[in-house]
Amino acid sequence: MSIKFEVLHVCKQSGARLGKLTTPHGVFETPFFMPVGTQATVKTLSVEEVKEVSEGLILGNTYHLWLQPGADLVEEHGGIRGFMQWDGALLTDSGGYQVFSLTEMRKITEEGVFFKHHKNGSSLFMSPENSIQIQEKLGADIIMSFDECPPPYETDDYMQKSVDRTIRWAKRGKDILASDQALFGIVQGGLNKDIRKYCAEKLIEMDFPGYSIGGLSVGEKKHEMYEMTHFLNPILPFDKPRYLMGVGSPDDLVENVINGMDMFDCVLPTRIARHGSALTTLGKIVIKNQTYEHDLTPLDPNLQTPISKYTKSYIRHLFKAEEMLGMRLVSYQNLAYLKHLMAEIRTAIKEDRLLDYKEEMKKKTNYFKSR
């Protein structure tokens, strides 16, 4: 097995888990957040900067890299790590999410999915087997089973059929895996608890080294997401890492850590950064607002980083002037803040006071006000 995981402590106040994930490219305390390097780059940032603002573990997207530049070219570089010169640990998704969210004219068969390229319209096919084979070429430490990611409000009937197929696909992926990469199974089932439980149990029977939860943060209400992770927490094996896919807003991170989740990724911090929204220890701010025109204080007065030297006024100017450095600085800030937040969460777990920490955060920030 190429990864190891152990739970080091359970927060007496919240039930949240502190763990240790050992990978071929680093040992990481969980829970952690992973920046997303969709196309073998975390948008706007250099690998040196990503190193500073991450735990040393990032995610690459199989779908995008398969289409551009192609898995073979990445393999020529020794995988994504060599391609983008990333010396930390790496995770890839299966492509399933993108196949179901970006493409049109899909035809799902037992064999796999036929669909059109999301930009040029060419005909493509992805199966559980070629998802694994592509991920082997991309060479991440942790990889994902190819799954169907249906919309959250599908009928129970459709969801049951979909989950059965996802389970069969997980088995086919596991059977064809030839590398020592750690392959996770992905629990689907939308908002139906019975089907989620059924999916989780079938995957657990296959004994994956970790379990992902997919199909959340896709349009459902926040309380529905939290109910589902709370529900799955006791069902998933205690001694295996749980990866909640596509979740990365500060409030969602805290709530889902409390519900027993260990790993997170999301494009949110870098995406909102490019539109000038900054995540700070004092809450989310929109840097283009007039109120910051003459504000000579740093973006985040409580978080000392290499970008603390810039004033809000200057960063606002960069956005007004449409200068890329603005996107860089806020992307850096947002990932630095999430790294800081996760470190604080881990400390709070160790000290058995994560619920208190959440209450403090509710008072100090506006992150919990978007319900």
Q: Could you give the residue numbers annotated as active site?
A: 93, 265
Alpha-carbon distance of 97 to 264, in angstroms, equals 15
Q: Which stretch binds its own copies (CB under 8 A): 75-83, 131-139, 189-197, 205-213?
A: 75-83
d(CA 132, CA 144): 8
Residues 6+ apart with CB under 8 A from 323: none
Out of 83, 208, 264, 367, point to the residue binding its own copies (CB under 8 A): 83
287 to 316, contacts with its own copies by CB under 8 A?
A: 293-294, 296, 306, 309-311, 313-314, 316
Q: How far apart are CA 187 and CA 232, in angstroms?
A: 9
160 contacts its own copies (rule: CB under 8 A): no
Q: Centre a 10 Å sphere on the Cβ of residue 64 and count the other Cβ atoms it contains.
A: 18
2 binds its own copies (CB under 8 A): no
Near its own copies by CB under 8 A: residue from 8, 27, 73, 343: 73
Amino acid at residue number 151:
P
Q: Can you tell me the distance from the alpha carbon of 275 to that of 181, in angstroms, rounded to the nearest whole number? A: 36
Q: Which of 76, 156, 207, 360 binds its own copies (CB under 8 A)?
A: 76
Chain positions 19 to 48 lying near its own copies, rule: CB under 8 A, are 39-41, 43-46, 48
Nearer to its own copies, 152 or 269 (CB): 269
Q: Is 232 exposed, middle or buried (0-12, 13-18, 19+ CB in 10 A)?
A: buried
Q: Does 176 bind its own copies (CB under 8 A)?
A: no
**Residues between 45 and 64 that touch its own copies (CB under 8 A):** 45-46, 48, 64
Residue of the chain from 9, 165, 317, 353 that contacts its own copies (CB under 8 A)? 317
The distance of closest approach from Cβ of residue 66 to its own copies in the complex, given in angstroms and rounded to an integer, is 12
Alpha-carbon torsion (247, 83, 185, 21), positive or negative: negative
Q: By C-beta, is 81 or 202 nearer to its own copies?
A: 81
As measured in angstroms, the least distance from the Cβ of 159 to its own copies is 34
In the complex, the smallest distance separating the C-beta of residue 157 from its own copies, rounded to whole angstroms, is 39
Nearest distance from C-beta of residue 56 to its own copies, angstroms: 18
E-strand stretches of 239-335: 242-244, 263-265, 277-280, 283-286
Spatial contact of 194 and 232, defined as CB atoms under 8 Å apart? no
Q: Does 77 bind its own copies (CB under 8 A)?
A: yes
How far apart, in whole angstroms, are the C-alpha atoms of residue 123 and residue 370?
40
Q: Give whichever of 134 and 318 is closer to its own copies, judged by the CB atom.
A: 318
The token pair that represents 110 in the structure block: 């037992």
Strands across the sheet containing 113-116: 107-108, 113-116, 123-126
SS3 label, residue 128: helix
Q: Point out which span in 21-29, 82-90, 168-176, 238-246 binds its own copies (CB under 8 A).
A: 82-90
Footprint on residues 323-352 left by its own copies (CB under 8 A): 323-325, 327-328
Q: Would you count residue 102 as binding its own copies (CB under 8 A)?
A: no
The total number of residues shown for the chain amounts to 371
Can you tell me which of 247, 287, 318, 336 binds its own copies, judged by CB under 8 A? 318
224 lies in the binding site for its own copies (CB under 8 A): no
Q: Which of 348, 308, 349, 307 has its CA nearest to residue 325?
A: 307
94: tokens are 């299966």
- By beta-carbon proximity to its own copies, the closer residue of 198 and 314 is 314
Please, what is the minimum distance in Å from the beta carbon of residue 291 to its own copies? 14
* Cis geometry, peptide bond prior to residue 31 (ω within 30 degrees of 0): yes
d(CA 67, CA 39): 10
Per CB under 8 A, residues contacting its own copies are: 39-41, 43-46, 48, 64, 68-69, 73, 76-77, 83-85, 293-294, 296, 306, 309-311, 313-314, 316-318, 320-321, 323-325, 327-328
